[in-house]
Amino acid sequence: MLKALIRVRFASLFSSMFRTKKTETTMSTGKKVLFGILWLYVIAVLLFVFGALFLAFTPMLSTEMSWFYFAFAGLAAFCFSFIGSIFVTQSQLFDATDNELLLSMPIPSYYILLSRMLLLLILNYVYEALIFAPALFVYMVSGYSTITGVLLLLVSYLILPLLTLSLSCLCGWLLAIISSRLRHKNIIQVILMLVFFLAYFYFFQNISDYLSSLLENGAEIAEAIRRALPPFYYMGDAIANGNLLSFLWFFLFCLVPIIPIYWLLSHFFIRITTTHKGQKKVAYRRKQLRVNTPMRALISRELRFFLSLPMYMMNSLVGVMFAILVPIFLITQRDSLLPLFSLIGPSAADSAGILIAIAMVFCASTNIITSPSISLEGNRLWLLRSLPIPSQKILLAKVALHCIICIPFLLISTLVGCIALHASLLSTLLALLFSSAMTVLIALLGLIINLHMPKFDWINETTCVKQSGSVMLTMFGGMGILVVPVLLYIFVLRFLPLMAYAYLCLLLCVIGCVLAYLYLIRKGVALFENLQS
């Protein structure tokens, strides 16, 4: 029975990546190839970023602080995996839509829990491989590697996910308990995600300062890590010095916690998954009925649904979060950035506005509210289509929500950045118009792609947001819309005035919006009316 549950889990994971509609068995070969290329691109970028980070730590391998290189690799892998899986853990273990169905069958609850924990363990291995792979590569090419060190590093990679799984399951359990007793649980989850995101961004922004402090105060920091984070200290000491006793301690730190945590979760699994508290009963009060226009009612519906899913909010508003951080970075680094603008073009004020426009276009391309919006309707799609409202308005309401949420943040961030860098009036206007036009274009393209690639056979909403082909195509397609004109100007069209070329790109973006809108209200409406959830 356990084998069957594990097969179902992995089949569900595979189908979420390579299936679109229930009527299709698998994606076409072309879609698989495109999807594979996109994933390879993401993996390559992450490996490059982390590889560059570990290169900065290479000098430590020749000092007494060599253990810190491996301790940092373990800690970074642990944090990256924990942040990436904590909320997925809650949704997979306790909030999955098939929990009650499985519990109604003659299946022990601890089998259900174990099958899901094994899937999460595989997910942790994937996350941590993105850290350990570049750490191992840099270590092996540094000239300081040993066979013992390489073997212990590989074994540590196999053991460390157990510690990550223990903590993520425990925190997911606590979040599930808290969520079942709160009315506004989504707000708390969004706040926690934002805290993780900002802490992660702050750490990597100040990584150079931390390295300098580490080199100056190595002994004190080593003692602090040994006391506060013993598993990672023992891991680093074992790999750097071949200390098998330290490795034994590291192994126990990773293995021992998972046993009582699994026992606790299996003991309370049914209680947590079947508890639905926190819904306040509202006494009926007679009051005047407020009437909205159909479009306004549809936008309100979309907004309520959007706010009800924290994972949807956080994953689809990455660009908004970056847009908030960009002006802060520009203001704090203004003195070092201003001299660089004169190197880009003849006018530093114009160059500043164009660079801000590029930054905001990038932010706009990573907001993907509409990309999974059709898929998220799921088995409620028939309710939406049964409304006496034209399909065109239903689709445009989804586009309108995307624009209403994203455009104000982008405009404010653009204006603050342009003021901080003394951008010219013409380039400021360009940046404002470009960020707005790109937001509209991404909203339209995301919805069109999702109409062509809907996914209705999901177990929880996270699958649509994180593992959807429409989301990947929209995000990387939007980045391509930004990258291609920039590279084209750098290598081919440098003879054109920079400001004239920028406004030409803006014109092309507006034309793209018009064409996408016409396609949506014609072909898109036909696709929507033929969907089967």
459: left (phi over 0), alpha (psi -120 to 50) or beta: alpha
Which pLDDT does position 219 carry in this prediction? 62
Do residues 464 and 449 lie in contact, with contact meaning Cβ atoms separated by under 8 Å? Answer: no
Rounded distance between C-alpha atoms, residue 87 and residue 85, angstroms: 6
The model's pLDDT over 437-461, given as tens digits with 9 standing for 90+, comes to: 999 999 999 999 989 888 777 766 7
pLDDT at residue 23 greater than cutoff 70? no
Which pLDDT does position 412 carry in this prediction? 92
Rounded distance between C-alpha atoms, residue 433 and residue 418, angstroms: 13
The model's pLDDT over 98-129, given as tens digits with 9 standing for 90+, comes to: 666 666 666 676 677 777 788 788 888 988 88
Rounded distance between C-alpha atoms, residue 88 and residue 56, angstroms: 32
Contact partners, residue 99, CB within 8 Å, separation at least 6: 112, 273, 274
The radius of gyration of the chain from alpha carbons, rounded to an integer in Å, stands at 25
Degrees, nearest 5: CA angle 432-437-442: 130
In one letter, which amino acid is 40? L
Which pLDDT does position 105 carry in this prediction? 67
Which is more confident, 457 or 410? 410
Q: Which two tokens stand for residue 415?
A: 């204006």
| Neighbour-count burial of 473, counting CB atoms closer than 10 A to its CB (0-12 exposed, 13-18 middle, 19+ buried) | buried
Do residues 278 and 181 lie in contact, with contact meaning Cβ atoms separated by under 8 Å? Answer: yes
Which pLDDT does position 508 carry in this prediction? 93
Mean pLDDT of 280-296: 68
Rounded distance between C-alpha atoms, residue 249 and residue 258, angstroms: 15
Do residues 56 and 207 lie in contact, with contact meaning Cβ atoms separated by under 8 Å? Answer: yes
What percent of the chain is helix, strand and coil (3-state, nearest 5)? 80, 0, 20
The model's pLDDT over 26-42, given as tens digits with 9 standing for 90+, comes to: 556 666 676 667 667 66
**317: helix, coil or strand?**
strand
Do residues 255 and 155 lie in contact, with contact meaning Cβ atoms separated by under 8 Å? Answer: no
Mean pLDDT of 509-516: 94
Model's pTM, two decimal places? Answer: 0.65
Which pLDDT does position 22 carry in this prediction? 45
Q: Which two tokens stand for residue 193?
A: 């995600």
Strands (E) across 14-107 are located at none
Rounded distance between C-alpha atoms, residue 259 and residue 93, angstroms: 17
Which of 417, 403, 393, 153 has the alpha carbon at shortest distance from 297? 393
**280: helix, coil or strand?**
coil
